[in-house]
Amino acid sequence: MTDLRCRLERERLKEHAFRYIEVKEKLIGEIDSLAAHTRLPSRTALADKYAAARTTIERAISELIGEGYLYAKDGSGTYVAERASAEPRARSANLSVGLIIPDIRHDTYPGTLRGVEDQTSRHDISLVVCNTDNQAEKQNSYVHKLIESGIDGVIIVPAIIGPADLGLFGQLREARIPVVLCNRGIEGVEAPKVVSNNFYGAYTAVKHLIGRGRRRIAYISRPMYSTSYERYQGYASALAEAGMALDDDLVVFEPTFGTERQGYDSVMELMQSEPRPDAIFCFNDGIASGAYRALSERGLVVGEDVLLIGYDNTSICESLPVKLTSVKFQTYDIGANAARLLIGMMNGEPIRKDKIIVLQPELVIRQSSGEV
């Protein structure tokens, strides 16, 4: 049931990682020797010059655009960008920050918003909130609008559907507008990040289920992307540590992000197999809620017949008849840390673009994972 093609692609990328880094470093050396606005040779010429696949050249150039070394002109080619000054960007007295998030209505994002807002308010900074519905196209549009508006800094929870426009991140760099990313990165964009340790959160949840004596533990997830893959790795690692085989028939990556029956259909399918799962770890509390409903309709008692754990520790946990055990995702702390980083950058503090703040989630144990 896992996305085999995605797994194979990840392995292929790992195999070529060192070659890709080598080519990118050579390109940076070439760029440093060229004047601003010099046109680069064609992708084909560069592939021949560096004896590299065209896809390797494309990825390196895309990242260099995102990092501000290059910029692209439609139908014209790729050019060397002007070097950014080390001096902090001149700013008006009335500062403003943009927060780009997938959906303010989602249970995890109000906490992130509050964390950002508390910090910006403390420094008398205006906050502009943009919702992308997890669509990169909307994210691209908002980044462009924020640049045009003269925004002083941007915090982004990256959209996961569609490609980010790396050229816009090059424009942010050229305009000396600092950026901080939350929850996950954007391939090709180097910026400070504030993330939660998804691997550890999943590992802790599954280890708890194993400690309760469960041996057929399922994982139900949103479609494959960075966060769901990290949680899958934590799930698989907990099983491996306990000497338990990974059964692909117990792993479900749901086909879409927007289904109204998330978790429900997956559990109905899992429960038709023999032997059935005796525990389920879910990517988030929404999926766990659907799983809870499916189990109940089949006459199974959550917390006894089947143990159940969600993720995010949202209000759903206390709303279910059997209270839901869940991994606490530190939404407020992520927003607050991201805002503190951004404000520091806006004030000219020397913060590395590869800086990562990793927050550790914790398991909140309730009735659904057995006796409390």
Question: Parallel, antiparallel, or unpaired: how do β-strands 279-282 and 217-221 relate?
Answer: parallel
Rg (CA), the chain: 23
Determine the pLDDT at residue 1: 46
Second-level CATH architecture of 198-329+363-369: 3-Layer(aba) Sandwich (3.40)
Determine the pLDDT at residue 55: 80
Mean pLDDT of the residues in the chain: 88
Determine the pLDDT at residue 261: 87
Give dist(CA 1, CA 13) in Å, integer: 22
pLDDT score of 74 more than 70: no
Cis peptide before 275, with omega less than 30 degrees from 0?
yes
3-class state of residue 294 by DSSP: helix
3-class state of residue 149 by DSSP: helix
The pTM of the full predicted model, rounded to 2 decimals, is: 0.75
pLDDT score of 233 more than 60: yes
pLDDT score of 86 more than 70: no
Which of 117, 141, 134 has the alpha carbon at shortest distance from 338? 117
pLDDT score of 5 more than 70: no
User: In the structure encoding, which two tokens stand for residue 234, read together?
Assistant: 């934590």
Domain boundaries, the chain: 15-80, 96-196+332-360, 198-329+363-369
Determine the pLDDT at residue 311: 97
Q: Which CATH number fits domain 15-80: 1.10.10.10, 3.40.50.720, 3.40.50.1390, 2.40.40.20?
A: 1.10.10.10
The share of the chain scoring above pLDDT 90, in percent, equals 62
pLDDT score of 60 more than 50: yes
Determine the pLDDT at residue 62: 78
Determine the pLDDT at residue 237: 97
What SS3 string covers 147-197? HHHCCCEEEECCCCECCCCHHHHHHHHHCCCCEEEECCCCCCCCCCEEEEC
Determine the pLDDT at residue 6: 53
pLDDT score of 329 more than 80: yes
Q: What average pLDDT does this structure show over 356-372?
A: 92
Assess whether the region 96-196+332-360 and the region 198-329+363-369 belong to the same CATH fold: yes
Report pLDDT digits (tens) over 181-207.
Answer: 999 999 889 999 999 999 999 999 999
Confidence of residue 218 (pLDDT cuts 50, 70, 90): very high
Q: Which CATH number fits domain 96-196+332-360: 3.40.50.11610, 3.40.50.2300, 3.30.465.10, 3.20.20.70?
A: 3.40.50.2300
pLDDT score of 300 more than 50: yes
Q: What average pLDDT does this structure show over 3-30?
A: 63
Report pLDDT digits (tens) over 255-297.
Answer: 887 667 899 999 999 998 888 999 999 999 999 999 999 999 9
Determine the pLDDT at residue 85: 46
Determine the pLDDT at residue 18: 55
Which of 282, 339, 328, 287 has the alpha carbon at shortest distance from 126? 339
DSSP state of 367: G
Residue 179 CA from chain centroid, whole number: 15
Q: Mean pLDDT: which of 7-16, 19-28, 32-41, 113-122 is highest? A: 113-122
